Structure 1
Amino acid sequence: MGQLVYVSIGSLDGFVADTDGNFDWSAPDEEVHAYLNERDAQVSVELYGRRLYEVMQVWETYGTGPDATEVERVYGEQWRGRPKVVYSSTLASVGTARTRLERRFDPRAVRRLVEEAEGQVSIGGPELAGHALRAGLVARVECYVAPVVVGGGTPWLPAGLHLDLRLEEEYRFSSGVVHLAYEVLPGGPAGEA
């Protein structure tokens, strides 16, 4: 049986992109990227919201060139090797291999997918993850906190959500990025506004 895990890279004040939509401040350096690659080896399926998929689809070819670093090559192979599901009501199609398009988020279908998965199922994109968090499907929340405050933008967690969490792991990188991993405690979302 699999486990649904929400992983995000964000600012100290809780945003994945700033008010202008920029997120270049969150690009992982080689040390963070290598750590992400090691953790991503546990992922068997990826679920994406439209915006994150549009950013990530570069990995269909990125990391294959002769000038690619080892961490880029490894991540590219991992990304291309996994099945992906993109949730979007506006995309006409998806342009990457091993990718299917779903028009709406169905919690029952996602629960079945996770139960049938070998290893972790990652969910990415704050809006899509918000649906899964509210439905009580997410078992683990991981954040890579970048050492920056951006003052506003796209939040990595939905407003009004209350989850009880237990810290399972923490790791500090030389760049000042901190990885935090929490188990979502039983009982699901509570106290939503």
Structure 2
Amino acid sequence: MGRLIYTGIVSLDGYINDTSGTFDWAAPDEEVHAFVNDLERSATTYLYGRRMYEVMKVWEAVPEMPDQSEVMLDYADLWRKADKIVFSRSLESATTPRTRVEREFDPDAVARLKEEGERHISIGGPTLAAAAVAAGLVDEYQLFLCPVLVGGGTPFFPDGSDAGLELLDERRFASGIVYLRYAARP
């Protein structure tokens, strides 16, 4: 059975972007990015909302961009090999291979995807993740806490989140970023 994992790069005060919607403070260095790549090797499917898909689809073009590091090319390869499902009412069609658009988030369909999967499913974007959290579908939370306070923006955890978590792993990076991995308790 697959696991649904919600991962994000987050400010220390819990936001994935700041009040102006930017997240340039969250750009991972080579050490963190290589660690993320290793985590993502077991992902077979990415679930995105429209905005997260718009951010992530650049990975389709990275191999054609000049002067890309091995870490960037490695992640692009991982991303391109995975299936992507975009939940959006406004996106006409996907512009990347291995991608389909669903108009509504269907918790039962995601539960079936988990049951049928052998590896993990990654969910990205706080709005979509909020629906999965509310439906009790998220098995793990992986946070990369950045040493910055942004004072507001879009929170990683949806309002009203109430769950017991079990710490599974942690790691500290030279940049000051801290990785925390938690299992959701039933």
Give the TM-score normalised by structure 1.
0.95
SS in 1 for 2:62: coil
CA distance in 2, matches of 1:16, 1:185: 23
- Check whether the contact 1:64–1:76 (CA below 8 A) recurs between aligned residues: no
Which 5+ residue runs of structure 2 have no aligned equivalent?
none
Q: What do the CA deviations read for 1:95-133 (whole angstroms, capped 9, x no partner)?
A: 000000000100000000111112100000001001001
Partner in structure 2 of residue 41 of structure 1:
41
Change (3 A) 1:63 1:146: farther
Letter in 1 for 2:43: V
- Check whether the contact 1:43–1:121 (CA below 8 A) recurs between aligned residues: yes
Give matches, 1:110-125, under 5 Å: 110-125=110-125
Equivalent pairs, count: 186
CA distance in 1, matches of 2:180, 2:165: 11
Letter in 2 for 1:102: E
Greater than 4 Å deviation, 4+ residue runs: none
How far residue 66 of structure 1 moved from its aligned partner, in angstroms, is 4.8
CA distance in 1, matches of 2:12, 2:127: 19
CA distance in 2, matches of 1:171, 1:64: 32
SS in 1 for 2:130: helix
Partner in structure 1 of residue 23 of structure 2:
23
CA distance in 1, matches of 2:63, 2:144: 22
Partner in structure 2 of residue 69 of structure 1:
69
CA distance in 2, matches of 1:52, 1:66: 24
Give the TM-score normalised by structure 2.
0.98
